[in-house]
Amino acid sequence: MGGGRDHACWRQPEEAPSAEALPAAAIDKPHVRGAGFGQYTTMSAATEIATTRFLGGYNCAQAVLCAFCAEASLSENAALKIATGLGAGMGRKQEVCGAVTGGILVLGLRHGRDSTGDRSAAELTYLKTRELMDRFAARHGSCLCRELLPGYDLGTEEGQRRAKADDVVNKVCRPCVQTVVEILEDMQ
């Protein structure tokens, strides 16, 4: 799996570089990267940050939220802590995909209701959340981790071993992280 690295869904992350330590190309401008299946696409800075975090061992929700830290004026450490429990469909329960829940956190930071009590902000956030989930499901067939990863029980050591051996991080999860980032960028 991805250079032999274990993944956050089933182990502690390695020290991943901070956004400041990423190559300038990953932060300042889009560039061309392989998109899988022989296709090439322009990868945005946010997609590069999320992919780097994810393949560096952080979970899907952490990777997505970190990609938007600067936009939200949120420290990377706070983002990593906030999203920790959401990986692998919320604590390996394989409920809503962690990339999607990370995206919902971004939408909350962008549009959510704060202490001013503006109820219309909550309604807008709900609308944006449904849009994100619908667009993700249209592309991947579901928003549920267990349906995205059928036959893998990430709540068990055996399921985690099988997922690692079958490289689901690169085959399924990485594209999910990238899709959520792309949708969030489009929704701005």
Sorted by where each begins, the domain ranges of the chain are 2-186
Q: Which of the residue ranges 8-22, 95-109, 171-185 would you say has the lowest mean pLDDT?
A: 8-22
Does 26 score more than 90 pLDDT?
Answer: no
pLDDT of residue 43: 82
| pLDDT tens sequence across 165-174 | 999 999 999 9
pTM of the model: 0.80
pLDDT of residue 15: 47
Cα–Cα distance between 151 and 134 in angstroms, integer? Answer: 24
Handedness of CA 125, 47, 91, 155 (dihedral sign): positive
CB 64 within 8 Å of CB 103: yes
pLDDT of residue 155: 96
Q: Which of the residue ranges 14-23, 59-68, 157-166, 170-179 would you say has the lowest mean pLDDT?
A: 14-23
What mean pLDDT is predicted for residues 59-63?
A: 98
* Phi and psi at residue 8, to the nearest 5°: -60, -25
Residues 6+ apart with CB under 8 A from 96: 89, 90, 133, 143, 144, 145
114 burial level (CB within 10 Å; 0-12, 13-18, 19+): exposed
Q: Give the closest residue to 82 by CA, choosing from 100, 116, 105.
A: 105
Binned at pLDDT 50, 70 and 90, residue 42 comes out as low
Cα–Cα distance between 34 and 85 in angstroms, integer? Answer: 30
Cα–Cα distance between 147 and 152 in angstroms, integer? Answer: 9
Question: If you search the block for the tokens 């995909």, which residue do you land on?
Answer: 97
pLDDT of residue 40: 40
Amino acid at 186: D
Binned at pLDDT 50, 70 and 90, residue 188 comes out as confident
| pLDDT tens sequence across 112-151 | 999 998 899 999 999 999 999 999 999 999 999 999 999 9
pLDDT of residue 97: 98
